[in-house]
Amino acid sequence: MSVTTRVDAEKKRVVINISGKFDFSLHQQFREAYRDRTERGYRFELNLSEANYMDSSALGMVLLLKEHAEKQGSQVVITRPGESIRKILKIANFDKLVPIEG
């Protein structure tokens, strides 16, 4: 379980990678991945390609990221979720809240 972040200021992009279980144990790391990004117009990409589990607290964390981004005039996109994660997102109607790519 880990959170890694890559910032490309030139392209105004923040990529947050989640690997393993995406649950409450990652709350602090996940928040630290985006909290200092207050510039306008960034694209926050939540890469879930290496996540193999996601629970309701992770869904809540995604909503907090979305709220943070919208306050900055930025957007959140979920990228490359595996099939089981994609099902969870669809059941929770997150495909209507956040664009899902890949």
Q: Which domain holds residue 24?
A: 2-101
Instruction: Report whether pLDDT(44) > 80.
Output: yes
Question: Which domain CATH number covers 18?
Answer: 3.30.750.24
- Confidence class of residue 74 from pLDDT cuts 50, 70 and 90? very high
Q: Tokens 């990221």 belong to which residue?
A: 65
How far is residue 22's CA from residue 44's CA, in Å, rounded to a whole number?
17
The fraction of the chain above a pLDDT of 90, given in percent, is: 94
Work out the average pLDDT over 47-72: 97
Number of domains in the chain: 1
